[in-house]
């Protein structure tokens, strides 16, 4: 598999040379393969947002390089705008960036900037709206008349419509109700499966990350603490708790069961998996009728 | 956006920080008057020394003072050049319509020093006085105007609310700009018309969120039973202390010095 993003000794310092100097990212090197679903976790202030903003050239790294498809994105600083179409970035609370008269035009903003026109533009907008579960009837409404959840979807659709090679989502489910989180997350997974694009998901919810990610980037105090397959990361619960993070609740429960001598597999990450593991156990002991 | 040094507040505990904000404002007003009443180099020297004394006592790195000067460098150069070429008297150097006279040189020096001193002094005031202190002081100083039904408290409240939201809105602008740039908004190229148009995706979300915040603040104030200024007391009382008296005396000495210099020596302007 070829790699789409490669970070080489990336570093960033805020307010260099002032009393407010703060190192946000420290010597991060990693490679992300095409089509991977990457989870990004870390305590507040661990540098994950800064790291994400360097991926699409919104911030220029103080040290090191970001390679997209093998080329340094800052090779031609004048063409940095093109990188932003390839690495789509959805910020936290993206609904605050809506501005157009209709939802349709707002979703089209990014794609239009990219140079799409006519039918191609129309298709990109409608596909993006479909991926995020926006009903076609909403497209002609003003974005300010939508509900909170719908605004969020419209904003995400605006980035998806640019059809980026890499989609970065910074806590897309923050502030949504449980049902909304659930639906949005499954739509992102569907997008990933159908488009085969690379997705990076920043989240504070270990449950969400455990469910969708292939591999996980763990950030701690600006440094890359771990970059391993999901199961491996959540097997190292003690290490995670040192970084101020947790393993999913269900993983904890299953580990406790194992310690008490029950024959359940290690590294259970989701409730569904746990269900599948526990059912035969109950049947064997004849406690299920 | 974040590099604006002018008008920022740097918390500290220096002598200037601890001065009564009312004293600082009154002294600043008096200072503006005397800096424009200096007519010879001795008087100018005294006020400059007074400025320097305050800057040193404020304990704030000279770097930030330089930064605040950067903003006005063009105004300084422009006005001093104008003054340089429009002096009266016999020219000592002439070319085409440009003529330089000793009077012009004096004028240029005076206007440069005066503007720089003014900016430094106002930076010193805002660097060492928090916005809350400033508005409190203004409210107290304007209190006599209540007699003529001037809404002193309301104006002070509006000022402190506005100041309170400056950093918030700056941060918000920054965020929205990043988000629109991520969608390929192009704000750096194109002609004037294009650039103004490129501001729309930033201004509209900014207005929307400013209104939302305003409503939130209004609701929060009502929830805390805010009913205007009548009968309100303050948690932090401001009192004049010995250091304020000393500061006033120093200023009085400077004013006296300037008057003496002006009357004893001949003016150069």
What the block records as the tokens of A222 is 């600006």
Portion of chain A with pLDDT greater than 70, in percent: 98
Query: What are the helix (H) ranges across B183-241?
Result: 192-198, 200-223
Nearest CA in chain A to B176: A97
* 3-class DSSP state of A285: coil
pLDDT band at A280 (very low <50, low <70, confident <90, very high): confident
> Mean pLDDT over all residues of chain B?
87
Two tokens at A10? 């990336």
Q: Is the pLDDT assigned to residue B93 strictly greater than 80? A: no
d(CA B247, CA B110) in angstroms, rounded, equals 25
Q: What is the pLDDT of residues B239-251, one digit of tens each?
A: 888 999 999 999 9
Q: Closest partner residue to A89 among B182, B204, B209, by Cβ?
A: B182
pLDDT at A64 over 70: yes
| Domain-wise residue ranges, chain B | 15-164+238-264
Least confident of A216-225, A246-255, B217-226: A246-255
Chain A residues at the B interface, defined by Cβ less than 8 Å, are 19, 53, 56, 58, 81, 84-85, 88-89, 91, 94, 96-99, 109-110, 113-114, 144, 158-159, 162
- Give chain A positions within 8 Å (CB) of B184: 81, 84-85, 110, 113-114, 162
Burial A175-186 (b: 16+ CB within 10 A, else e): ebeeebbebbbe
| Residue A84 to residue B183, Cβ atoms within 8 A | yes
Distance CA B181, CA A85 (A): 10
Query: Which residues in chain A have Cβ-Cβ distances shorter than 8 Å to B178?
Result: 53, 58, 91
Report the percent of chain A where pLDDT is more than 90: 57
- Residue B207 above 60 pLDDT? yes
User: Of A1-10, A110-119, A162-171, A188-197, where does mean pLDDT reach its minimum?
Assistant: A1-10
Distance CA B148, CA B146 (A): 5
Q: What domains sit in chain A, N to C, each tagged with a CATH number?
A: 37-61+70-239 (3.40.50.300), 248-289 (no CATH)
Are A236 and A244 in contact, with CB atoms under 8 Å apart? no
Number of Cβ within 10 Å of residue A262's Cβ equals 13
Torsion angle, alpha carbons of B25, B254, B48, B33, to 10: 50
Alpha carbons A154 and A133: distance in angstroms, whole number: 9
- Residue A169: per-residue pLDDT: 95
Tokens 């005076």 belong to: B110
Nearest to A99 among B181, B184, B201 (CB): B201
Q: Which of A19, A58, A98 sits opposite B182 (nearest CB)?
A: A58
Query: d(Cα A249, Cα B96) in Å, to the nearest integer?
Result: 85
41-70 in chain B: CB under 8 A from chain A: 61
Decide: A131 and A157 in contact? Cβ < 8 Å: yes
Mean pLDDT of the residues in chain A: 90
B1 pLDDT band, cuts 50/70/90, is very low
The C-alpha atoms of residue A57 and residue A87 are separated, in whole angstroms, by 9
Half-sphere exposure of B115 (CA within 13 A, CB side): 18
What confidence tier does A105 reach under pLDDT thresholds 50, 70, 90?
Answer: very high
CA–CA separation, B54 vs B56, rounded Å? 5
ipTM for the predicted complex comes to: 0.86
pLDDT per residue over B159-183, tens digit each?
888 888 888 888 899 999 999 999 9
Element of type H or E holding A166: strand A166-170
DSSP A95: G
- The structure tokens 């298709």 sit at A123
Q: Give the rounded distance of the alpha carbon of B87 from its chain centre.
A: 29
Contact A48, A226 (CB under 8 A): no
In the three-class reduction of DSSP (H, G, I as helix; E, B as strand; rest coil), residue A26 is classed as strand
């Amino acid at each position: 598999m070829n790699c789409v993003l490669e970070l080489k000794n990336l570093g960033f310092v805020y307010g260099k040379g002032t009393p407010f100097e703060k190192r946000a990212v420290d010597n991060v090197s990693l490679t992300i393969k095409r089509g991977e679903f990457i989870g990004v976790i870390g305590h507040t202030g661990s540098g994950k947002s800064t790291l994400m903003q360097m991926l699409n050239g919104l911030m220029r790294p103080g040290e090191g390089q970001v390679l997209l498809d093998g080329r340094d994105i800052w090779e031609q600083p004048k063409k940095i705008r093109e990188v932003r179409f390839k690495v789509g970035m959805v910020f936290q609370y993206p609904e605050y960036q809506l501005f157009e008269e209709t939802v349709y035009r707002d979703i089209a903003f990014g794609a239009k900037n990219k140079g799409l026109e006519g039918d191609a533009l129309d298709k990109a907008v409608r596909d993006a709206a479909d991926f995020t579960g926006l009903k076609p009837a909403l497209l002609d409404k003003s974005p300010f008349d939508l509900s909170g959840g719908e605004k969020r979807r419209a904003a995400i659709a605006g980035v998806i419509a640019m059809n980026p090679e890499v989609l970065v989502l910074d806590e897309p489910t923050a502030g949504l109700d449980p049902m909304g989180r659930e639906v949005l997350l499954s739509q992102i997974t569907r997008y990933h499966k159908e488009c085969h694009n690379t997705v990076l998901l920043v989240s504070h919810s270990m449950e969400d990350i455990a469910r969708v990610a292939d591999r996980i980037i763990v950030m701690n105090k600006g440094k890359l603490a771990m970059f391993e397959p999901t199961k491996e990361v959540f097997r190292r619960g003690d290490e995670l708790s040192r970084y101020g993070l947790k393993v999913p609740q269900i993983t904890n429960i299953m580990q406790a069961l194992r310690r008490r001598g029950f024959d359940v597999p290690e590294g259970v990450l989701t409730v569904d998996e746990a269900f599948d593991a526990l059912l035969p156990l109950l049947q064997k002991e004849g406690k299920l009728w | 956006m974040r590099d604006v040094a002018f008008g920022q507040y740097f918390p500290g505990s220096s002598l200037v920080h601890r001065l009564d904000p009312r004293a600082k404002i009154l002294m600043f007003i008096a200072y503006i008057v005397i800096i424009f009443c200096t007519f010879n180099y001795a008087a100018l020297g005294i006020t400059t020394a007074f400025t320097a004394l305050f800057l040193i006592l404020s304990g704030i790195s000279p770097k930030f003072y330089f930064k605040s000067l950067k903003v006005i460098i063009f105004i300084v150069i422009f006005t001093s050049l104008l003054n340089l070429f429009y002096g009266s008297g016999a020219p000592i150097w002439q070319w085409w319509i440009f003529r330089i006279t000793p009077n012009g040189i004096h004028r240029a020096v005076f206007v440069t020093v005066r503007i720089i001193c003014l900016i430094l002094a106002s930076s010193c005031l805002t660097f060492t006085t928090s916005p809350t202190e400033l508005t409190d002081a203004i409210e107290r100083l304007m209190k006599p105007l209540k007699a003529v039904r001037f809404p002193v408290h309301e104006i002070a409240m509006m000022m402190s609310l506005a100041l309170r939201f400056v950093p918030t809105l700056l941060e918000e602008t920054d965020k929205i700009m990043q988000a629109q740039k991520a969608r390929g908004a192009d704000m750096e190229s194109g002609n004037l018309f294009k650039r103004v148009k490129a501001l729309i995706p930033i201004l509209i979300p900014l207005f929307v969120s400013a209104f939302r915040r305003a409503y939130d603040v209004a609701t929060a104030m009502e929830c805390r039973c805010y009913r205007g200024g009548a009968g309100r007391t303050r948690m932090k009382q401001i009192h004049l202390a010995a250091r304020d008296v000393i500061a006033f005396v120093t200023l009085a000495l400077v004013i006296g010095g300037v008057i003496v210099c002006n009357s004893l020596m001949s003016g150069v302007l």
